[in-house]
């Protein structure tokens, strides 16, 4: 399998990740934030996305994120949002997201409720309007790949919902 990734010089931000195992189209997953996956290693979320991409007949996977800042968890990301909000997105993140979106035949939003932090869910839906998802949360956000069955298919992601509920942890 061919593997590659693009990071900031300090490696605190990952802008893009690719895996290619066969000829054919590429699927893009837009996740919340990068964790430990890099040019060599896959983390559990990337492994799950690979499983979906293969099951759906794709030959490659690209991964972008709503926030490019590498964090071990969404909870850590939420804590960082209070101290360095602009520093979560990453300087080149939207540029990479648009590039991967243009290069992919299918784009799957999968960032969960925390994608609402700093208004990013709405911003990304504007940048990439033709998104699919694996299902939606009660807040109308696209479900994360680790929280759906491995046999899930994809469906169109509707517009962002306006909600009085502000709890990004609500399922």
Q: What is the pLDDT of residues 25-80, one digit of tens each?
A: 999 999 999 999 999 999 999 999 999 999 999 999 999 999 999 998 888 888 88
Q: What is the pLDDT of residues 94-148, one digit of tens each?
A: 999 999 999 999 999 999 999 999 999 999 999 999 999 999 999 999 999 999 9
Residue 65, number of CB atoms within 10 A of its CB: 30
Tokens encoding 72: 């071990």
What pLDDT does residue 42 have? 98
What pLDDT does residue 85 have? 65
- Classify residue 146 by burial, with Cβ atoms within 10 Å: 0-12, 13-18, 19+: middle
90: confidence class by pLDDT, cuts 50, 70, 90:
very high
Q: Write down the pTM of the prediction.
A: 0.92
């Amino acid at each position: 399998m061919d593997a590659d990734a693009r990071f900031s010089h300090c490696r605190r931000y990952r802008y893009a990740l690719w895996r290619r195992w066969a000829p054919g189209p590429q699927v893009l997953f837009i996740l919340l934030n990068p964790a430990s996956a890099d040019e060599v290693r896959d983390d559990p979320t990337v492994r799950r996305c690979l499983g979906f991409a293969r099951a759906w007949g794709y030959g490659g996977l690209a991964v972008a994120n709503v926030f490019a800042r590498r964090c071990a968890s969404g909870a850590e990301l939420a804590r960082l949002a209070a101290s360095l909000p602009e520093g979560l997105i990453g300087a080149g993140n939207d540029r990479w997201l648009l590039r991967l979106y243009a290069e992919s035949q299918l784009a799957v939003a999968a960032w969960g409720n925390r994608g609402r932090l700093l208004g990013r869910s709405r911003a990304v839906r504007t940048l990439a309007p033709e998104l699919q998802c694996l299902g939606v949360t009660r807040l109308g956000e696209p479900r994360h790949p680790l929280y759906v069955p491995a046999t899930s298919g994809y469906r169109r992601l509707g517009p962002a919902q306006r909600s009085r509920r502000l709890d990004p942890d609500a399922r």
